[in-house]
Structure 1
Amino acid sequence: MAPSASFLDYVKDLFSPFGEISVRKMFGGAGIYCDGAIFAISGDDDVWFKVDDVTRAEFEAAGLRPFEVEMNGKTGTMSYYNAPEEIYDDNDALRHWTSLALAASARGKKPAKKSAKTKTAAGKAKPKSLKRARKA
């Protein structure tokens, strides 16, 4: 179920100390972004934080569970774990868990793909590989 508009407003306010927070609706839920990078998702007025191989064990040790999705009759998990309840009323907990999610998000960013073309000194695009045509 989609998160309510009032919950998404609350989430924006909650995470605002960490940077510019935006929310984008997607797949019946919402992605939560900080300075343009997704670090959490929301659905049913809940928050799930981004995890990776570095942070997953800490989420599991706290008894937190992965976000599950059902598609075509099969259940799978995503790299997001439910946020602990204490983030909503404990600033230290909010800072700790949000920082873990932001770090996982930063590590997960993929570098931009390089174009297949490079530019000449005059600024015109040229292919990376210049093959000379053979005279027959």
Structure 2
Amino acid sequence: MVASASFSEFLREQFASLGPLTFRRMFGKTGVFCDGVMLAVVTDDTLYFRVDESNKPIFAEAAAFPPLNYTKGGRSIDLAFWRAPERLLDEPDELVTWARAALAAAHRVAARRVPDRTVKDTRRKRRTGGA
């Protein structure tokens, strides 16, 4: 279920220091974007932050909850989004600290996905036989 309008507005206010947020419906959930990258997902007004190897220590408390997942082919697939402890919703400074760590992880993930233009251009030239 997507984020409610009130929860989306709450996040927009809490994360204002990060920059402008955008919200996009994705697969029955809501993606939370800043700087063109997805730092969080909301489902049923529950917040999940982007996690990678660099910020897992910051999010150690969240490891107690199951990560965001979906079922495919009868098996559960875990995503790289961990549930924010509900107590953070009452602790704005710490909530923003977690959001900054998630945003940094989102940027690292995005950077790994950017194809190396030199390699891509070289492959294309080989396939097309030239310029």
- Taking structure 2 as the reference length, the TM-score comes to 0.78
CA RMSD in angstroms, aligned pairs only: 2.4
Tell me how far 1:19 sits from its aligned partner.
Answer: 0.7
Residue in 1 that maps onto 2:38: 38
- Check the 8 A contact 2:50/2:82 in 1, yes or no: yes
Distance 1:3 1:91 in 2: 19
Shift of 1:100: 1.2
Contact kept in structure 1, 2:66 and 2:83, CA below 8 Å: yes
Is the 8 Å Cα contact of residues 58 and 98 (structure 2) preserved in structure 1?
Answer: no
Structure 1 residues 17 and 131: CA distance shift in structure 2, 3 A:
closer
Aligned residue identity for 1:72: G
Greater per-residue helix proportion: 2
Question: Aligned residues: percent identity?
Answer: 31
Displacement of 1:14 in angstroms is 2.1
User: How far apart, in 2, do the equivalents of 1:40 and 1:88 lie?
Assistant: 14
Q: Give the match for residue 53 of structure 1.
A: 53
Deviations 1:75-130 (A, max 9, x none): 1110000012232221221122112101111111122452638xxxxxxxxx7458
Q: Which has the larger radius of gyration?
A: 1
AA matched with 2:45: D
Is the CA contact (8 Å cut-off) linking 1:67 and 1:80 kept in structure 2? yes
> Secondary structure of the residue that 1:53 maps to in structure 2?
coil
Deviation (angstroms), 1:71:
2.3
State yes or no: 1:111 paired with 2:114: yes
Q: How many residue pairs are counted as aligned between the two chains?
A: 123
- The one-character-per-residue Cα deviations of 1:33-57 (angstroms, maximum 9, x if unpaired) are 0121110001101110000011224
Deviations 1:6-61 (A, max 9, x none): 22222222212211100001100110001211100011011100000112244234
Q: Which has the higher contact order (CA 8 A, sep 6+)?
A: 2
- In the alignment, which residue of structure 2 is the partner of 1:81? 82
The one-letter code sitting in structure 2 at the alignment partner of 1:81 is W
- Aligned-pair CA distance for 1:3: 2.2
Q: Aligned-pair distance for 1:74?
A: 1.4
Unaligned runs of 5+ in 2: none
Report what 1:69 is aligned to.
70
Unaligned runs of 5+ in 1: 118-126
